[in-house]
Amino acid sequence: MRTFGILANCDKPTAPETLRRIERKAAALGLRLVVCGRAGQHVPSAETVPEEAIGHSADALMVLGGDGTMLRAVRVLQGAQTPIIGVNLGSLGFLASVTQEKVEDALDCIVEGRCSIQERAVADGIVMRDGREISRYRAVNDMVIDRGASSRIVSLHLTIDEAEVIDSQCDGLILATPTGSTGHNLSAGGPVIHPASAVFVITLICPHALSVRPIVVPDSRRIAVDIARCSGDIRLAVDGQTGEALRAGDRIEFSRSGAGARFIMLPGSNYFSILRQKLHLRGSSV
């Protein structure tokens, strides 16, 4: 890997200095840099390309920001298989796992081949209305059907491979990938899923029932949710960043995308140590 793309959240206070450090280290290693957006103001030696071209212009993409910037980067790639490494300038940093203090070490590891690439599943979501497709989305973390600001519950009908699973009155539904299982799904009572697992987890939000529990299903299944009834606003939110309004009668079809995301993992990276560090996973103290 000799050409590195950079996508940065330049609103982060430490972004300009981190970008300058990357520029200096890249020069020392003889690397070519390609940037998009405002990052070019802080890396004058780099070539600036449109955001939509960044994935096809680099061997790897370095993403500076928080987890939201990582999610945006995967969306910008639009299925391109450029591997991504995240430099955490935010707070949680569950996906952007490299601290800004270690950015030079990260470049050394990648150039020397002391890293691995982890494949992450991406979910496709298709919104159907009146029997035709009206929109299509990709999600690294999750797709959420939510009643938003409305105080009215919604009625959802869940099928898997056309088999009826649940008819529920609830506040919404989360379909999460293994990567996204530690996000909204976890807060709603869903399980943590290891990112290597080939599954989705479906979690209802505040179901009006005693017996409903999250469901883990192989990601090869055809999953569909029909909006049976809604009296107020209801939306589809994709990775918490994009989406659209839904209405009664809409159907959302979920499946695993044929083009996933590829994350660069540095030596010593361990999913369970990240759980312990970031989410305070602990055993009994007795």
Q: Give the residue numbers annotated as catalytic, written as ranges.
A: 67
Closest alpha carbon to 6 in 260, 114, 262, 18 = 18
Q: What is the DSSP string of 129-144?
A: ETTEEEEEEEESSEEE
Beta partners for residue 172, in sequence order: 146, 205
Nearest to 37 by CA among 49, 47, 55: 49
Residue 239 falls in which region: left (phi positive, over 0), alpha (psi -120 to 50) or beta: left
Question: Please, what is the angle between helix 103-111 and helix 15-29, to 10°?
Answer: 30
Q: Is 216 exposed, middle or buried (0-12, 13-18, 19+ CB in 10 A)?
A: middle
Place of tokens 């390309």: 49
